Structure 1
Amino acid sequence: MDKEKIGVKTPEYVSLQFQLAGLGSRATAFIIDYAILLISLIIISLSGFYLSVNLVETMDIGDAIFSTIIIFAFVFLVISGYFILFEAFGNGQTIGKRIMRIRVINENGNQITFIGSLLRNLFRIIDMLPGFYLVGLLMIFIHPRHKRVGDLVAGTIVVYERKHQFDGKQRKKLTPIEKEIAKRNIKKERYKLGEWELKSFQQKDWELLRTYSERFLAIPEKERQSFTEQLVHIMFPKAGWDTAHKTTYDLENDLLALYLILKGEWDYEL
């Protein structure tokens, strides 16, 4: 279950790929978080007990009741606030989720908002019914996107964090074709490819274009020219691009730009 991957379209029509976090990783993160909460509550309880022993002789019944209410309210805020605040202001991650390298995001790929985190965690009480988090566990297990009730209400999913977000200090080494693309100053943002045209490309088109691009520098010039013409004949009609007044070099650049565009659609790294 932890191997399932989904594609997400952002409001800007950018295609993102994520690996869904399954029951095992989410349960482990949950145990870590509740262990942290339990330790915190034990410390709070011991502190409260110490204060009550020292103050009980000077407190009347009204003060004792008020103090008890304050303690229970504080405990409630610690439990509920932990998940709400960490997810809302911690990039969708509690401490447990950060350790397990998973996080909560909106279904459109955007970062979870405070309201989304609030809704998600307010419904945690339903997921905990009838005990031992049974409803939540069953929902995560049977739902195709591993959503519990809180996720359904808030419109969120839990995914694995991408490797490059953990290895930000390590600059990724460019492949030969990436160096060639940078040398030619090819930017996919300069090319227009509508949603309809994008959907016309299939897995076999991507595989063919990827083979062309990855072997681009190793193919002899004459063979590369022939390969380029064949690919242009296949790819350009689907993209809605024309070949008018374009040199072989221009066509190569167009195909490499298309490679970058489809790479975001069909190829991703976790």
Structure 2
Amino acid sequence: MTKEQIDIKTPEFVSLQFKLAGLGSRAAAMILDQVILTILNIIAIVLLLFITSSDIMLMAEPGWLFAVFIIVLFVVNWGYFFVCEFFFGGKTIGKHMVGIRVIQENGHSVTFLSAIIRNLLRIVDMLPTSYFLGIVLIFFHSKHKRLGDMAAGTIVVHERQVKRQSKSAIEKEIDRRGLSKDTLQVEEWVIRSLGEKDWKLLKTYTQKFPTLQDYRKVQLTKEIASILLSKIGLEAGTKTNQELENILLVLYLYMKEEWEYEL
């Protein structure tokens, strides 16, 4: 393993290897994000100026208006990173364009708490100016971590390019049915609300699916659907068995990206 590679043993005893994102790629992503934030800040300031120009707001205390400005700008600048990293798989727009993402040190996606911690500590990493402290830490740390990463237990890695192997039986079945993630629109936050137990249940179902006898397939499909569909806001009782099968197979495609590790 080179300095730029990291091996991770997951709680499921799966060995993963990632390429760490260094100072160059992280700086490029930050520059892109700062361009976007500059635009957002300008829009926010223009809107605030428009709102505060009303007669009622002109009567308000200058200190109160200044506080509103500070709060709004903090929410925009901090909220951008938190929302993107938590709801969009550890990637801001800049990170997505560069091809890097934030993950937990155990290889799983960034959690709600870790997203909050690593981004709140941006305030410290920015000291004394222009992310100087963060840049120094990333350069010298063995895993290219800034202070926020150390506290949150996160790392920044390059997106893995997975070499496609021959398709499994369930993948062939999904292709035969013409199913894809576009078949069922599910919000990212809904997928993230499903846990490891849900994934293991669904994975076991899909592994058995191609070889099940018809009567057993119907029974198992209804059992799994009754457990999972309510968690994504769907009613299982109003759908045919074919529809339930298709929904579960598409849900498998969504969850596979989050939970299955291809070596």
TM class by shorter chain equals 0.5 to 0.7
Write out aligned runs for 1:35-46 (5 A). Answer: 35-46=35-46
Partners of 1:57 and 1:174 lie apart in 2 by 67
Task: Tell me what 2:81 maps to.
Answer: 83
Letter in 1 for 2:46: L
Letter in 2 for 1:120: R
Partners of 1:155 and 1:173 lie apart in 2 by 32
Partners of 1:172 and 1:102 lie apart in 2 by 20
The alignment's C-alpha RMSD in Å is 2.7
Is the partner of 2:116 in helix, strand or coil? helix
Task: Tell me what 2:204 maps to.
Answer: none
Greater C-alpha radius of gyration = 1
Per-residue deviation, 1:21:
0.4
Per-residue deviation, 1:174:
3.6
The structure 1 residue matched to 2:164, chosen from 158, 161, 172, is 172
Letter in 2 for 1:172: R
Q: How many residues align?
A: 171
Task: Tell me what 1:129 maps to.
Answer: 127
Write out aligned runs for 1:30-179 (5 A). Answer: 30-53=30-53, 55-56=54-55, 59-62=58-61, 65-164=63-162, 172=164, 174=166
Task: Tell me what 2:7 maps to.
Answer: 7
Letter in 1 for 2:129: G
Task: Tell me what 2:173 maps to.
Answer: none
Tell me if structure 1 keeps the 8 A contact 2:52–2:58: no
**Any unmatched runs of 5+ in structure 2?**
169-261
Shift in CA distance, 58/105, structure 1 to aligned 2, threshold 3 Å? closer
Task: Tell me what 1:26 maps to.
Answer: 26
Partners of 2:40 and 2:63 lie apart in 1 by 23
Cα deviation code 1:10-51 (max 9, x no counterpart):
011110010000111000101111111111111111222233
Partners of 1:107 and 1:3 lie apart in 2 by 16
**Any unmatched runs of 5+ in structure 1?**
165-170, 179-266
Is the partner of 2:164 in helix, strand or coil? coil
TM-score by structure 2 length? 0.59
Cα deviation code 1:147-171 (max 9, x no counterpart):
000111011100001124xxxxxx9
Tell me if structure 2 keeps the 8 A contact 1:41–1:75: yes
Shift in CA distance, 116/56, structure 1 to aligned 2, threshold 3 Å? same
Per-residue deviation, 1:52:
3.0
Cα deviation code 1:101-130 (max 9, x no counterpart):
100001110111010011111111111111
Letter in 2 for 1:159: V
Seq. identity, %? 45
Write out aligned runs for 1:224-235 (5 A). Answer: none
Partners of 1:94 and 1:69 lie apart in 2 by 27
Shift in CA distance, 58/116, structure 1 to aligned 2, threshold 3 Å? closer
Per-residue deviation, 1:61:
3.2
Tell me if structure 1 keeps the 8 A contact 2:3–2:142: no
Partners of 2:153 and 2:71 lie apart in 1 by 28
Tell me if structure 1 keeps the 8 A contact 2:51–2:57: no
